[in-house]
Amino acid sequence: MPQPSTMAGAPQHRATLIHLPSMGSLLRHAGRPLLESTLIPLALFWILFTQSGFTAGVVGALSWSAFAIGRRVVKRERIPAVLWLSTTLLVARTVVGLWTGSAFLYFLQPTVQNFVFAGLLLVTIGFERPLLAKLADDFCAFPDTLTRHPQMKRFFKRVSLLWAAVFLVNGATTLAVLATQTVGNFLVVSTAGSYSMVTVGIALSLWWFHRSLAGEGIGLRIGVPQPKLRVG
């Protein structure tokens, strides 16, 4: 952590320690929207598709997303941005899938949506809070002291470029797999490939995140809060 300068007349710097919830709490907070918006609909589609056919799989996946949103509305809970986004896209996929009866077109849409999402990330870089920053709130509840920090805002603008690249590569790879594999193989290969790329993106983002904050004299501590560290 940076130490204050000892030179006469040099400005002193204050290091700040910001506390985040425990690792278990962070994993639960991040895992819930991921399960609701991606893993459960995908699993339902596959189970119903193999047991009852394409239409059952499509309807089952959308029904789950509608249930997830409806339950939060009834309980007056905040609906994560990622759940809104995934459900909106799933509605479009379902309409096209049921209308055409084509599994290829059904899965082509989320593949193309990788490119659309990459474009949205790039467009919103100029906003006060880029799209990536809003989505990050669904996976990690940052304290206001960190969210409002200028360095944090700059970080999300810059890391949006990284995630735009991740989605562009993921879209191109998934499109190639979709054009050459069966539905079953496509689901296995594309899911494994997509989550591998996302894992790499998360690892790079965390490294960049830590480096960005360290340069501003901000430290992070996960778990039980301790007295705030002040230097200077």
Instruction: Give the pLDDT confidence of 99-108 residue by residue, as tens digits.
Output: 988 888 888 8
**Contact predicate 25/223, CB 8 Å:** no
Q: Which residue has the tokens 């991740």?
A: 166
Taking residues 155-166, what's their average pLDDT? Answer: 88
d(CA 56, CA 171): 26
Residue 130 has pLDDT above 60, yes or no: yes
Taking residues 204-232, what's their average pLDDT? Answer: 63
Residue 24: closest CA among 204, 222, 201, 226? 222
Residue 76 has pLDDT above 80, yes or no: yes
**Contact predicate 25/222, CB 8 Å:** no
d(CA 62, CA 90): 7
**C-alpha angle 24-27-28 in degrees, rounded to nearest 5:** 85
Which DSSP symbol is given to 13? -
**In a 3-state reduction of DSSP, which class is residue 221?**
strand
Predicted local confidence at residue 168, as pLDDT: 92
Higher pLDDT, 120 or 223: 120
Summary mean pLDDT of the chain? 76
Residues whose CB falls within 8 Å of the CB of residue 182, separated by 6 or more in sequence, listed in order: none
Residue 225 has pLDDT above 60, yes or no: no
Taking residues 198-222, what's their average pLDDT? Answer: 74
For 177-207, give one letter per residue: b (16+ CB within 10 A) or e: bbeeeebeebbebbeeebeebeeebeeebee
**In a 3-state reduction of DSSP, which class is residue 14?**
coil
**Contact predicate 109/53, CB 8 Å:** no
Higher pLDDT, 63 or 211: 63
pLDDT in tens, 18-43: 666 555 665 566 567 677 777 888 88
Taking residues 52-75, what's their average pLDDT? Answer: 89
- The total number of residues written for the chain in this structure: 232
Dig out the tokens for 82 from the structure. 């990622």
**In a 3-state reduction of DSSP, which class is residue 1?**
coil
